[in-house]
Amino acid sequence: MKKIEHIGIAVKDLEASNTLFAKLFGKKHYKIEAVESEGVMTSFFKAGPNKIELLQATNADSPIAKFIKKKGEGIHHIAFAVKDIEKEIERLKGEGFKMIHEKPKKGADNKLIAFLHPKATNGVLIELCQDID
């Protein structure tokens, strides 16, 4: 793993949260993007060298909707940049980690993504991200 790619925060209202985080960071989001396969609308902010991803559910069955119903708004996941996501998935499986996604899929911000199951990582949802060339 190369670095923390972003921190994902589950929100109920993306527009209101964009206003809040714009005040916090002193600048507006740089991108809004729908990820239909995950049932979310995302918004990205830069905070120094780091990124924050806000996630709002677009349907009641999405992972974000279920997360908010169970835990409320807040930190949803930590994403790590990787050089080769398929090799990293295989390495982690070899180390005994359970994956939510056995194969990478297209995510937001021009990335291939895969999630580790939080039961295997002390309750923290971990996302692997690889830039799509």
pLDDT at 32 over 90: yes
pTM of the model: 0.92
Rounded distance between C-alpha atoms, residue 78 and residue 94, angstroms = 21
| Averaged pLDDT, 19-41 | 95
Is the pLDDT at 90 greater than 90? The verdict is yes
Q: Is the dihedral of CA 78, 53, 6, 62 positive or negative?
A: positive
| CA atoms within a 13 Å half-sphere pointing along the CA-CB vector of 9 | 17
